[in-house]
Amino acid sequence: MRLPSKVTTFKESTLALFPLLLKEVMVEDVPPMALFEKVKGEDDDISNFVEALDCLFALGKIELHEQTGNLS
């Protein structure tokens, strides 16, 4: 997980993806790959995307619907 520091700006950090992901998930339930495509312009690193999803899930901000595979 990339955290802001002297070397890494906030925009380059994993934390910068949180509001973008939450904004998209609040609008509609979306599959993870479609969500990545929507925010890909901000950060092309899929490992950073997955880490952001992990953090949001651990914080209880998003959930995965096992029947549909969508995030909400």
> For 18-47, how does the pLDDT look when each residue is reduced to its tens digit (9 = 90+)?
999 999 999 999 999 999 999 988 888 899
Matching residue, tokens 């096992």: 66
The predicted pLDDT at position 44 comes to 82
Please report, to the nearest 10 degrees, the dihedral formed by the alpha carbons of residues 44, 46, 60, 18 taken in order: -10
Whole-model pTM above 0.75? yes
Mean pLDDT along residues 1-15 = 92
Cα–Cα distance between 19 and 69 in angstroms, integer?
21
**Is 65 a residue whose pLDDT tops 90?**
yes
- For helices 32-39 and 46-58, the axis angle rounded to 10 degrees is 120
pLDDT-based confidence at residue 51 (cuts at 50, 70, 90) = very high
